[in-house]
Amino acid sequence: MLRQHYDTDALDASTLLAAIFGFLPPDDKRLRASVLAIADELTEHGFVLRYRTGETDDGMSGKEGTFLICSFWLVSALAIIGEEQRARDLMETLLWVASPLGLFAEEFAVATGRHLGNFPQAFSHLALIEAEARIIVVELLQEFS
């Protein structure tokens, strides 16, 4: 399974990029295990944390919100490894938390339902576009196969 670095077992949402950038093929067992571990163990109500702050010495104190870019990365990674329904379900959840203007911040506080950090956050929106495109590609491939 992919981890934060060689000397730890800590999960890190950045490893979702291995699926998005094709670092490993979609059917690779390590990739699948990593994506599913992040989905199951590095989330709060489906929203993805960058990493568990208690497992990582990043020099910061306190609790972070979930990161919307990472949550959209998870949508993409789930679609890539063949977990289409999970990808669609998470995408729907993410779209429900958009601001009244349809915009996303950097972070989302699941407990309060509030956007945190930079707002609007361009990176969150780029990941949104990527995630939706991945879902569309999966649907098109299913339709024409």
The Cα 39–Cα 69 span in angstroms is 14
Mean pLDDT, the chain, rounded, equals 92
pTM equals 0.93
Q: What is the tens place of the pLDDT at every residue in 71-107? A: 999 999 999 999 999 999 999 999 999 999 999 999 9
Q: What is the tens place of the pLDDT at every residue in 18-30? A: 999 999 999 999 9
Q: Count Cβ atoms within 10 A of the Cβ of residue 64 and give its class: 0-12 exposed, 13-18 middle, 19 or more buried.
A: middle
The Cα 100–Cα 94 span in angstroms is 13
Residue 62 has pLDDT above 90, yes or no: no
Give the three-state DSSP class for 107. strand
